[in-house]
Amino acid sequence: MTASATTPIIRPATVHDVPRIALIINSHAELGRMLFKSYAQLYEDLRDFAVCEVDQKVVGCTALSVIWADLAEVRSLAVEKSFHGRGIGKLLVRWAIEEARRLQIRRLMSLTYEQAFFDKCGFVVVPKESLPLKVWSDCVRCPKQEQCDEIAMVLTLHDLPVIEAPDATPTPRGVSIPVLDYAED
Ligand SMILES: CC(C)(COP(=O)(O)OP(=O)(O)OC[C@H]1O[C@@H](n2cnc3c(N)ncnc32)[C@H](O)[C@@H]1OP(=O)(O)O)[C@@H](O)C(=O)NCCC(=O)NCCS
């Protein structure tokens, strides 16, 4: 069956998509709704990204970033404003969920201002302190830093087995990797 001209297609991103991804993300970043992304960051993280195409035009994107054995973060989710409210955000989150399932990662998280949208995608609000420190690695690039007002939300894929995630012990050279533990305070 041929897809109709306006059927949104979700597919992994390629280098050709980076200028459109940057434009969409940074148009929202200018309004303070998400973090700016440079071309350098986007090329580096390209394998994490999927895009949504409508009529051969990229109109949305998201990335799934692996944090730890049992946690991945939905990042850089953005839909071009004129395409809001057509189910594209939900399709992109569904891609992230399937990608987490493929990787056998049981929990997805998001730091967001869009609680109602993520509610609709099945995520629940959790205390920020329950997330591992590595999640905050982007905070150094955020102008808000200590005044972070994003909401932490998590979706658990209960059909996946619980994994015994290794803890972040020092490497043989004695250098601790920047995931310490689940913060308790
Ligand atoms: C958040 C965002 C990705 C949603 O994309 P979208 O394509 O408009 O969302 P969808 O059309 O898939 O909406 C899915 C559902 O969420 C609801 N929804 C979407 N945005 C909402 C909002 N701001 N408030 C309340 N409900 C919302 C829709 O009504 C829809 O509900 P339904 O399933 O009952 O019909 C988009 O608004 C966006 O790009 N925002 C700016 C960037 C941003 O904040 N990204 C999140 C960073 S974590």
pLDDT in tens, 72-84: 999 999 999 999 9
Q: Which of 184, 177, 185 is nearest to 68 (CA)?
A: 177
Does any domain span residue 123? yes
Does any domain span residue 59? yes
**Exposed / middle / buried, residue 25 (Cβ in 10 Å: 0-12, 13-18, 19+):** buried
Q: Identify the residue whose C-alpha is closest to ligand 1 atom 40.
A: 78
**The 49-54 sheet, strands edge to edge:** 9-12, 49-54, 57-68, 71-79, 107-112, 151-156, 124-125
CATH number, domain of 29, equals 3.40.630.30
Contact 85, 69 (CB under 8 A): no
Does any domain span residue 1? no
pLDDT tens, position by position, 112-147: 999 999 999 999 999 988 887 666 666 666 666 666
Contact 8, 91 (CB under 8 A): yes
Q: What is the structure's pLDDT at 51?
A: 98
Question: Which of the 8 DSSP states describes residue 95?
Answer: H
Q: Residue 59 corresponds to which amino acid? A: V
Range of the domain at 115: 9-156
Does any domain span residue 33? yes
- Kindly list the protein residues whose Cβ atom lies closer than 6 A to any atom of ligand 1: 28, 33-34, 77-79, 84-90, 110, 112-114, 116-117, 120
Q: Give the lowest-confidence range in 68-72, 82-86, 89-93, 154-158.
A: 68-72
Q: How many domains does the chain have?
A: 1
d(CA 7, ligand 1 centre) in Å = 18
Atom of ligand 1 minimally distant from the CA of 25: 42
Does any domain span residue 76? yes
Does any domain span residue 124? yes
Whole-prediction pTM: 0.88
Contact 108, 154 (CB under 8 A): yes
Does any domain span residue 183? no
Does any domain span residue 181? no
